[in-house]
Structure 1
């Protein structure tokens, strides 16, 4: 007999060996009756003003003849079979039609994996470089300010996620989520991601995972090409007939899975010229906020700070400013991480957060953003790419405010709120570097006002959040794409048959897991089209 038990609590200092005792107590049976148990989920409850504790969900195996006195306990339910991640339904493909996957971020990699495992010939093209090469280019940017237009934080093997925290949290309810995580573990991710409530891999381990996925694809017969930029589509009678690489090489194909990410502005413009229907989409913009990690630990853990069982503390903060009709929230919080420059074009500054698997850096950072509506882009403009122009304007403004050398404009939080300049001496992890500037000029006035008021609310929720040690760094504009590549119920572009847009760049996902799931969905649609 196999049962599932939820809401099992262990205090700090209690080892997981006590789970068997706790499970037996909830069931009302002896420990000897518990033949085995598996941890399904683990989370930390660290609400302030009470001792933190860990919460577990378990799968418990008992003898079939065990009497369970407490069967009516709401925490107990029947689990007839051991839970295994559900695999995507991969149909075997007999046709020799080759699919081309454009982009090697999570959406592209998982789309290619599903296609390759179905037996379909796959060509994966990536405009950037492989992980080892792009790591060198990114380091040159951070350390020397040398920007490489086709090899940076956004372009290259693994996509933007390669230089991130590697978070796997997602609000998407999809049974294939567990399979995505299982696949990542098979490629070298830590097994803890299968049970942690807030799983993350860390950029150091994620880079190795991405390389292993490439090797797996090659073992399955997929062809992978780097430095291969899609510069045009070949369309015949409303259907995909091929694509052009690097303005000179034409590749014949009847279906393309488009996983370009949200930073390929030139690709969006090409799609628009080719008649692909695009639409503006809301997103959010703001700054990165950075505190000493020790301060966040003290705020969140109180008198229990310093306990070795506790990870670097996190936070999630949201509020709404009713009279402005704007939401303000934190996004992509990186405990023990660093803020990085991730410019996607010359003359622009963009920030993001990154951390390694140990999350042991001295700073905590998060995006703090306000929602941007499509009518904010350009009034009544009918240009579907007006959101790109909007965000580019503020990235260029950040570049100018930062001194014009890819340094980011920065300001102490207290100075930003009081409207006064910040002098030298800010402690920040940002690479390549920061320059003191007034962030009032770094975003539209409505966003600045919403952020100021939202940050004040955050300090009420987390007393001590507003401090002289906190620094704001501008600008954070890549929360999601301001463009959607419109697709139909069959996953194809509503304009061109055989074109399957997916992932963040298509406007249908955000983050590693949801992008991977959307890539899987695109591959399944492409396979169904094969008949």
Structure 2
């Protein structure tokens, strides 16, 4: 089978045009083309007057070998890559050895558990929150009634933080083994729309993610895995031998139970498990501070973004809601960039701790809400902004989230400001043409009161620059809502080449909370890598090096 890339067709091309383009590209007759499937479809909107689709297709033809020889110097015609997933090992029939424990049921923990279950190791998956349906009710309790459940919210519970997001399924990770394809394939099996396998920027949306997570849980359980919800890990028990080598030997749960861990423990915690980070630090597990970002969510009418990005093609059903990605290097040495852009979505309350406000963005699969929203955040780093001990970044996050709660007036109302007022340095007293979507609601104020001075200075410069890149982006009526602090984990649970903690054997830090992923897809891929490392450990195999996995 051949893969052809960079096949370009007009936006409104008929279905048969793709087959014709394949034949023309390969210079073959209709009889020589046996079949084709679309491997990837993207649109190129750099020229708004000439928006077109760009396809990669897998093609079966007669007499493939001569064709490959003819196009051997053409980088756009090659053999189709093998994207099938192969397990690194399998447990023997009737496996009765140690059961691996996975802590956390977000994307990373979900795929670590799934792969271990598919390999026959019957994992135990612990999560501090509730099953996804009950968790959804608790999350709506905060949004509708200002009632926060600290153990069941946007951050904690089955599905992890990605459940209440845009459901983006792409990343910039290097993926030579096509593990991302395994993730997408499992999502489709669980009920995701099949087009996520071909779209260049696939997404799912919250409502579909809920049913998919339930389906995948059922698969894990059918394979012998076990879920235990509302089982927060409150302590880890570590044994030290005569040579000073440390190894995890037990977990103490909020239920009062001690779980003996004679096998590996995967720490797929998520970026908001602050109490667990503190506990691990106290137990001597090696942690280090890592960079993250801080800022706000910004909202524009989606129609404004569509028109700016697509011009006269705005509203075309094949294009959907327009997205954007922005970045600006500021005079004060900071970088401001858009983060987790949600076309046709809403800004949501994402706190997990009482008396604090944190925001995030969310979209449904349809992306048909009135506004587009995105984080506008400023990169910060430990050496410059929170030097000292490894948990200093958590303290910084909490400081500004507490300040946002106070400036917002309490009740988890979020502080908000019109962009024009923010640029002018004055508090907002009224809204303009853009209605904020955040619930429980916003309190108009001055966002400079709940952001670091360097962030305010950098954002004021960057927003004007963004207005030059996307006409109307710096419209004075755009609404900014604070604060966005959960862009990524502020700590890294450092691991070695064997994927285990550098100073505590048996602990496998994984995913976004451990500092090794950012987003649903990369976290899920890391979960697969960790599951493979755990399986190798259980079967006494030589570890695969982390940088080669």
Distance 1:247 1:390 in 2: 31
Unaligned runs of 5+ in 2: 241-245, 541-549
Taking a change above 3 Å as real, the CA distance of residues 408 and 27 of structure 1, as seen in their structure-2 partners, is same
List aligned pairs for 1:475-490, cutoff 5 A. 475-490=483-498
Counterpart check, 1:310 vs 2:311:
no
- The alignment of Structure 1 onto Structure 2 pairs a total of residues equal to 526
**What is the Cα deviation at residue 338 of structure 1?**
0.6
Contact 2:179 2:528 in 1 (8 A): no
Counterpart check, 1:112 vs 2:113:
yes
Structure 2 match to 1:358: 366
Distance 2:317 2:534 in 1: 49
Structure 1 match to 2:46: 47
Residues 154-179 of structure 1: per-residue CA shift (max 9 Å, x gap):
00000011111110111012121111
Q: Secondary structure at the match of 2:513?
A: helix
Q: Which moved more, 1:460-469 or 1:156-165?
A: 460-469
List aligned pairs for 1:18-37, cutoff 5 A. 18-37=17-36
**What is the Cα deviation at residue 48 of structure 1?**
4.2
Contact 1:317 1:330 in 2 (8 A): yes
Contact 1:34 1:62 in 2 (8 A): yes
Taking a change above 3 Å as real, the CA distance of residues 244 and 10 of structure 1, as seen in their structure-2 partners, is same
Counterpart check, 1:411 vs 2:417:
yes
**What is the Cα deviation at residue 6 of structure 1?**
1.0
Counterpart check, 1:201 vs 2:186:
no
Counterpart check, 1:183 vs 2:193:
no
Q: 1:421 aligns with which of 413, 421, 427?
A: 427
Taking a change above 3 Å as real, the CA distance of residues 67 and 115 of structure 1, as seen in their structure-2 partners, is closer
Counterpart check, 1:448 vs 2:449:
no
Q: Secondary structure at the match of 1:336?
A: strand
Q: Secondary structure at the match of 1:43?
A: strand
**What is the Cα deviation at residue 119 of structure 1?**
1.6
Contact 1:377 1:386 in 2 (8 A): no
Q: 2:239 aligns with which of 236, 242, 253?
A: 236
Q: Secondary structure at the match of 1:504?
A: coil
Contact 1:5 1:58 in 2 (8 A): yes
Residues 330-370 of structure 1: per-residue CA shift (max 9 Å, x gap):
01111011110111100111110100011111110011111
Counterpart check, 1:225 vs 2:237:
no
Contact 2:418 2:431 in 1 (8 A): no
**What is the Cα deviation at residue 114 of structure 1?**
1.5
Structure 2 match to 1:337: 345
Distance 1:514 1:82 in 2: 21
List aligned pairs for 1:121-520, cutoff 5 A. 121-174=122-175, 175-237=178-240, 238-246=246-254, 248-254=256-262, 255-321=264-330, 323-379=331-387, 381=388, 383-425=389-431, 427-520=435-528
Q: Which moved more, 1:507-516 or 1:28-37?
A: 28-37
Residues 200-251 of structure 1: per-residue CA shift (max 9 Å, x gap):
0111101111111110010011111111000011111221111011061101
Q: Secondary structure at the match of 1:505?
A: coil
Residues 451-501 of structure 1: per-residue CA shift (max 9 Å, x gap):
111111111111211113311110111111110111111111122111111
Q: Secondary structure at the match of 1:193?
A: helix
Distance 2:411 2:144 in 1: 12
Q: TM-score, normalised by structure 1?
A: 0.96
Distance 2:505 2:149 in 1: 34
Unaligned runs of 5+ in 1: none
CA RMSD of aligned residues (A): 1.7
**What is the Cα deviation at residue 377 of structure 1?**
3.8
Structure 2 match to 1:77: 77
Distance 2:83 2:383 in 1: 46
